[in-house]
Amino acid sequence: MKTSQNRIQNTFKGLKQKNEAAMIPFITAGDPFTDLTEELAVAMAENGADILELGMPFSDPLADGPVIQAASLRGLEAGMNTHNYLKLVQNIRRQSQIPLVFMGYYNMVYQYGLKAFAEDAVSAGLDGAIIPDLPIEEADEWIAVARRAGLDTIFLAAPTTPMERIERIAQRSRGFLYYVSVTGITGARQELPAELAQNLAMARNHARLPVAVGFGISRPQQVAMLSQVADGVIVGSAIVRLIEDGIRQGVPATALVQRIAGFVRELKQATRYGIKPGQGA
């Protein structure tokens, strides 16, 4: 068995010592073109992102809300495919040591070949993979090849998941466990469920690895609150929305990169010190 670089594990260890949660932004590869994704990734890494979740566009993203659906479509229209995705990862890896996590639907991995994908992913510089439509019951072979290649398998748990199942999911997860905050699809929410903090506390009790929370989180206040109860906080649609707005407003690429870097900085800040009431966006 190959040992991975353990970038994800080391990141969480380092953050724990500083008593900070990981800030994990998500963007879609190729949205709206591949070079911009590369620039954004590097800029986010330089502006406080601790781990980067990079989405591979899919024609039928059934766990995603309208914002990420639209981003997937833009990525596919820009010619993104699994091969170009891995090339993009390589280019980002040359410029940054930030832990990189693949997020993509199972069919793309399956068509590439599970073993080939796990190996090529690691050689390109990926550290982990999230496959939102691959529950643990279907994942034996994937787990085996990913372990051999040294790629972290990050599984999801949801508010509907019973605790004994969360335990089993956590056992099969490496890097971190992805806790889905809401019973629903991706996309910013005004309100997060009242019982979320309690659910997270229970999930962390049952998991012997870091727990990151995602779905619906868009504001620094939410990040600050969740940083108290999770090891990492994932923000996706809110960032992708900024890209969409930028495209619509015709913002030049450099300005868009700055705008998003600024937002990530703000989010990272929230994982550090929390936010006092009345502050932030």
Partner 1 sequence: MENNKMLSGPDKKGHWGIFGGRFVPETLIPALLELESAYRKCSHDASFQAELRSILKDYVGRPTPLYEAKRLGDALGGIRVFLKREDLTHTGAHKINNTLGQILLAKRMGKTRIIAETGAGQHGVATATVCALMGLKCEVYMGKKDMVRQAMNVFRMEITGARVIPVETGTQTLKDATNEAIRDWVSSVKHTHYIIGSVVGPHPYPMMVRDFQSVIGKETRRQILKVVGRLPDYVIACVGGGSNAMGIFHPFVRDTNVKLIGVEAAGEGLNTQHHSATLTLGRPGVLHGTMSYLLQDKWGQIQGAHSVAPGLDYPGVGPEHSALKDSGRVHYDTIDDQEALNNGFRFLSELEGIIPALESAHAVAYLHKLAPKLAKGSVVVVNLSGRGDKDVAAVADIFKGQNP
Instruction: In angstroms, give the least distance from the CB of 263 to partner 1.
Output: 26
Judged by CB under 8 A, which of 69, 181, 227, 237 binds partner 1?
69
Which of 31, 39, 50, 64 is catalytic? The answer is 64
62 lies in the site for partner 1, by CB under 8 A: yes
Toward partner 1, which CB reaches closer, 186 or 218?
186
Answer yes or no: 64 catalytic: yes
Contacts of 251 (CB under 8 A, 6+ apart): 245, 259
Q: Which pairing describes strands 177-180 and 211-214: parallel, antiparallel, or unpaired?
A: parallel
What are the DSSP E strand ranges found in the chain?
A: 22-28, 52-55, 100-103, 128-130, 152-154, 156-157, 177-180, 211-214, 232-235
**C-alpha to C-alpha distance for 94 and 71, rounded to whole angstroms:** 25
**C-alpha to C-alpha distance for 73 and 36, rounded to whole angstroms:** 16
Burial of residue 277, with CB atoms counted within 10 A of its CB: 0-12 exposed, 13-18 middle, 19 or more buried: exposed
Judged by CB under 8 A, which of 1, 18, 19, 162 binds partner 1?
162
Judged by CB under 8 A, which of 4, 34, 96, 161 binds partner 1?
161
Judged by CB under 8 A, which of 3, 19, 160, 249 binds partner 1?
160
Contacts of 121 (CB under 8 A, 6+ apart): 86, 89, 102, 129, 149, 151
Task: Tell me which stretch binds partner 1 (CB under 8 A): 36-44, 158-166, 222-230, 271-279.
Answer: 158-166
Judged by CB under 8 A, which of 12, 26, 102, 105 binds partner 1?
105
* Run of H or E including 10: helix 7-17
Judged by CB under 8 A, which of 30, 65, 220, 236 binds partner 1?
65
For every residue of 29-63, which 3-state class applies, written as one string?
A: CCCCCHHHHHHHHHHHHHCCCCCEEEECCCCCCCC
Judged by CB under 8 A, which of 10, 13, 60, 123 binds partner 1?
60
Comparing CA positions, the residue from 153, 97, 141 lying closest to residue 115 is: 141
Which of 50, 53, 127, 266 is catalytic? The answer is 53
153 lies in the site for partner 1, by CB under 8 A: no
Asked if residues 203 and 180 have their Cβ atoms less than 8 Å apart, the reply is no
Site string for partner 1, 118-147 (x = CB under 8 A): --------------xxxx-xx---------
Kindly state the DSSP code that residue 254 receives in the 8-state scheme.
Answer: H
Comparing CA positions, the residue from 36, 46, 8, 40 lying closest to residue 26 is: 40
Q: With CB under 8 A, what is the number of residues at the site for partner 1?
A: 42
Toward partner 1, which CB reaches closer, 158 or 247?
158
Residues in the chain: 281
Task: Tell me which stretch binds partner 1 (CB under 8 A): 33-41, 92-100, 146-154, 160-168.
Answer: 160-168
Answer yes or no: 141 catalytic: no
Task: Tell me which stretch binds partner 1 (CB under 8 A): 10-18, 159-167, 196-204, 242-250.
Answer: 159-167
Which residues form the interface with partner 1 (CB under 8 A)?
58-65, 69, 76, 81-83, 105-112, 132-135, 137-138, 155-162, 165, 169, 180, 182-185
Residues annotated as part of the active site: 53, 64
